[in-house]
Structure 1
Amino acid sequence: MTTAPTGPEPRTNPERATPKTRTPGERRLLGGLMANSLALYAIYGAVPAVLLANLVADVDPDSKTTSLGVISAVGAFGAMLANPVAGALSDRTHGRFGRRAPWMAGGSLLGGLSLIALGLGNNLLWIGVAWTLAQIFLNGLQAPLTAVIPDRTPEHRRGVFSSAAGLAQMLGATLGTAAAAAFANELGLGFAVFGVLVIIGTAIFLLLNKEPAAHAPEGGPFRWKTFLAGFWVSPRRHPDFAWAFAGRFFLILGYYCVFSYQLYILDDYLDLTRDRANHLVPLLSMAMLPGMIVMIVVSGPWSDRVGRRKPFVIASSIGMAVALALPLTLRSEASMFAYAVISGCAFGMYMAVDTALMTQVLPRPDEAAKDMGVLNIANALPQALAPAVAAAVIGVLGGYSALFVAGIVLVALGALSVLPIRKVR
């Protein structure tokens, strides 16, 4: 494992004593991490919502909704499996180029080429295979990239790096979606641009932050049975890990259950016209953005200074619950904008400290990428499940009021789940 604490050793509590200035090595690591995350999440914002949707509509206009749903589901399943597997394989990688760098280089190159191939697709099978391969390879990049924080930063600086990663992810997804609109009539060029972008972003990181050579891991020769068994992390032996997984799962599910149904909430719950609802959805997203950015930038370094993570997660959960309660009690456009502003602030705070908290509950530092990949399931799975869970709540429990209540309950469970964690304050 590569451990390179940057900055002077703290003389007192390492969680509280934070260096005021960053070393050149820390600045390079921070800049490279942001560049790579920005490029990667630009793809996640641009491709599913814009480029892929337009490509499927061109190839299969009569059944575009169903076809896009199937292709997206298969790709998401491949991504969810690839992330922890790629992370575990990188944990066991050794050689002159280190553990993470070979997987990041290979994942970005093959992922970028898959995107270029996707842009050449003229039938659904080609599109489905190319997008699934792109998801698999890009998660081969994402898993070791996520492990950079626990690998190469001290605990008392992880709030800063968590904030930087969260900011880059949010900006990448937002800017990627906006930039993709310019390629609506040149889809092949659009896929190629984003494919090259992720290759360049990864190259910047690897050139600025060369990883030392890694020795062969302990534990004997590679065996598939042992490898696969390693993905199970016992809640009894590692309760902090299990509680962190549950907290992330519930909070993300509660947030996206409502967020993913904003259009239908405006249309059916507020009884607006479809045109009015479509006009308001991007405005609600814009209303979320300023507070989200501010809280991402502020909360991570703040959590480093006070040496605590859990109060920020609990505060963000309370903020989300308050935001969800507003349209539940006040059915109006104004209440939806208030929901957007408050939930944006709350989710920004959560994004700023979530990664830092997760890195502090890992069972084994030498398997950081694998365990971070497992924890990433608690992020990806609820986003995939959210539309189905929301539909079930609305249909079975009685409409959109029940959906807001369910969201409040879920984010409250997310807050309660972090309370039993012992390793993190």
Structure 2
Amino acid sequence: MSVTRILGLLMPTIIALYGVYQAINQVLLPAQIAQISPSGKVHYMAIASLVESVVGTIILPVGAAISDRTQTKFGKRTPWLLFSAVGTLITCLIMATAKSIPVVVIMAGFVWFFANWYQGVIYAVIPDRIPENYRGLASSAAGLGLPFGILIFVNIAARTSRFVGYAVVGVFIVLTTILFVVFAREDSSIRAKVEVQEAQETSETEEAPAKHTAFFSAFLHRDFTMAFLSRFLFFFANFAVSNFTFYILSDYIGVKNLPSANVAANVATVSTFSTVAQIIAIIVFGKLADVLDRRKMIVALSSITYMVSFIVPLVSKTWVGMLIYAVISGAASGVYFAVDIAVMSLVLPSKADEGRDLGILAIATSVPAAVAPLVGSTLLDISGTYASIFVFGIVTALLGGLFAFLIKSVR
């Protein structure tokens, strides 16, 4: 099966995945929490984000590791993609009807359970089925999933009822998954499992044993650790600000200074500006990374640019300042996503555990998603201003770029 066909069917599934994440965390969840508890919205949003991310941190590598060892005639990834997609739909529909903070938080955890299981499995398809010389293209295709997920589903969520918003993101992930598993059918994993074991045995016979069985043994490899830390800090900067976009616009910029009193619609506008810049950056730098073979440099550059974006709202506390921030941060994240998956796939130490180790690298997304909102909430309590959150983003983005430079095996 051609690489183009696999990627053409893979990209909509990743769009659907990020549609779930972004529509919920940028619009649906903060609006739902603000409606239930206007005075405690920041605190409860941080708690919900913590629950989401703790659940995601645990299940993402575990779900991927389970799929690594699954043997069926339909392949090792297919059964779990269908399971987690349907689970995401069902829990989204239940969450849409929640009317109390405890139920909202619990259901957010369930949605993230299934969505992160899905993420761990769907990203493992890239090292499974995409040759290394096409990893830059694969990274760009996967990277486009985030901006298109925002562009499509944040706008839908901002302009429809709560139930419709939750239903749309849930249904779309099921439909795209069905299309992927049917038209980019995976080979049986029964024979593949035997071949991997035989290859390992041969390798161990010919060379000194280098087999690590511990779940987190990938951290024994320096470049894997550097890639993890760089990704961790990049997303720490990201979530420290993005999870509070709804409240930054309503409280920091001020409703009276926005184009309309509809904060959700203004969130969608900011997201759209960011997304357009992101898409352009992914297309340009994904190709440039392959031509120059300088993926590490591009990752570091994106972190530094991200740092610059956080300076804008500090010096321009206006609606226009937020739009400029959106464009710069969108471009920075687009540059990052253009090469992110390629870099991660090239530092994986074990062929037999690619899904697990890719899932562990993805923890560098879920842990910041958990901790950054709590850090942001604490900074806000201490300083009394959202400016402190932007300063935090500046520091973490800079550190993320420095760790990217320390990766040795990727140019």
Q: What is the TM-score of this pair, normalised by structure 2?
A: 0.82
Distance 1:316 1:52, change over 3 A: closer
CA deviation after TM superposition for structure 1 residue 120, in Å: 5.0
Query: 3-state DSSP class of the match of 1:366?
Result: coil
1:204 aligns with 2:165: no
CA deviation after TM superposition for structure 1 residue 416, in Å: 1.1
CA deviation after TM superposition for structure 1 residue 334, in Å: 5.0
Corresponding residue of 1:10: none
1:135 aligns with 2:119: no
- For each residue in 1:57-80, what CA deviation from the matched residue of structure 2 results, as whole angstroms up to 9, or x when unmatched? 77x567873666544532332222
Corresponding residue of 1:256: 239
CA deviation after TM superposition for structure 1 residue 206, in Å: 0.5
Distance 1:54 1:287, change over 3 A: closer
Cα distance in 1, alignment partners of residues 186 and 74 from structure 2: 6
- Amino acid of the residue matched to residue 216 of structure 2? W
Corresponding residue of 1:155: 132
Cα distance in 1, alignment partners of residues 268 and 351 from structure 2: 41
2:26, 2:243 within 8 Å by CA — same for their partners in 1?
Answer: no
CA deviation after TM superposition for structure 1 residue 170, in Å: 1.8
Corresponding residue of 2:216: 232
CA deviation after TM superposition for structure 1 residue 190, in Å: 4.6
1:368 aligns with 2:368: no
Cα distance in 2, alignment partners of residues 292 and 281 from structure 1: 16
1:178 aligns with 2:152: no
Cα distance in 2, alignment partners of residues 391 and 367 from structure 1: 37
What are the equivalent positions in structure 2 for 1:25-174 lying under 5 Å apart? 25-52=2-29, 60=36, 65=41, 70-119=47-96, 121=98, 127-174=104-151
Corresponding residue of 1:5: none
1:263, 1:277 within 8 Å by CA — same for their partners in 2?
Answer: no
Distance 1:128 1:360, change over 3 A: same
Corresponding residue of 2:273: 287
Give aligned-pair identity as a percent.
34
Corresponding residue of 1:12: none
2:230 to 235, 242, 247: 247
Unaligned 5+ segments in structure 2 are 202-211, 261-265
The more displaced of 143-152 and 33-42 is: 33-42
1:275 aligns with 2:256: yes
2:278, 2:335 within 8 Å by CA — same for their partners in 1?
Answer: yes
What are the equivalent positions in structure 2 for 1:405-424 lying under 5 Å apart? 405-424=391-410
- Amino acid of the residue matched to residue 252 of structure 1? F
What are the equivalent positions in structure 2 for 1:350-369 lying under 5 Å apart? 350-369=336-355
CA deviation after TM superposition for structure 1 residue 167, in Å: 1.0
Cα distance in 1, alignment partners of residues 102 and 346 from structure 2: 42
CA deviation after TM superposition for structure 1 residue 368, in Å: 1.2
CA deviation after TM superposition for structure 1 residue 256, in Å: 3.3
Corresponding residue of 2:333: 347
- For each residue in 1:303-344, what CA deviation from the matched residue of structure 2 results, as whole angstroms up to 9, or x when unmatched? 122222011112212222333344445666655443332222
- Amino acid of the residue matched to residue 301 of structure 1? K
CA deviation after TM superposition for structure 1 residue 90, in Å: 0.7
Cα distance in 2, alignment partners of residues 96 and 139 from structure 1: 24
The more displaced of 405-414 and 259-268 is: 259-268
Corresponding residue of 2:263: none
Cα distance in 2, alignment partners of residues 268 and 180 from structure 1: 21
CA deviation after TM superposition for structure 1 residue 240, in Å: 0.5
- Amino acid of the residue matched to residue 274 of structure 1? V
1:361, 1:423 within 8 Å by CA — same for their partners in 2?
Answer: yes
2:305, 2:329 within 8 Å by CA — same for their partners in 1?
Answer: yes
CA deviation after TM superposition for structure 1 residue 46, in Å: 2.7
Query: 3-state DSSP class of the match of 1:345?
Result: helix
Cα distance in 1, alignment partners of residues 114 and 359 from structure 2: 14
2:286 to 297, 300, 315: 300
- Amino acid of the residue matched to residue 287 of structure 1? F
1:54, 1:184 within 8 Å by CA — same for their partners in 2?
Answer: no
2:297, 2:404 within 8 Å by CA — same for their partners in 1?
Answer: no
Query: 3-state DSSP class of the match of 2:2?
Result: helix
Distance 1:278 1:89, change over 3 A: farther
- Amino acid of the residue matched to residue 181 of structure 2? L
Query: 3-state DSSP class of the match of 1:365?
Result: coil
- Amino acid of the residue matched to residue 169 of structure 2? F
2:140, 2:283 within 8 Å by CA — same for their partners in 1?
Answer: yes
CA deviation after TM superposition for structure 1 residue 290, in Å: 2.4
- Amino acid of the residue matched to residue 379 of structure 1? T
The more displaced of 241-250 and 286-295 is: 286-295
Q: What is the TM-score of this pair, normalised by structure 1?
A: 0.80
1:378 aligns with 2:364: yes
- For each residue in 1:210-233, what CA deviation from the matched residue of structure 2 results, as whole angstroms up to 9, or x when unmatched? 11112346499xxxxxxx973323
CA deviation after TM superposition for structure 1 residue 207, in Å: 0.9
Cα distance in 1, alignment partners of residues 44 and 318 from structure 2: 35
CA deviation after TM superposition for structure 1 residue 385, in Å: 2.1
CA deviation after TM superposition for structure 1 residue 163, in Å: 1.1
Cα distance in 1, alignment partners of residues 372 and 39 from structure 2: 23
Cα distance in 2, alignment partners of residues 57 and 330 from structure 1: 26
Distance 1:157 1:337, change over 3 A: same
Corresponding residue of 2:205: none
2:26, 2:246 within 8 Å by CA — same for their partners in 1?
Answer: no
CA deviation after TM superposition for structure 1 residue 274, in Å: 3.4
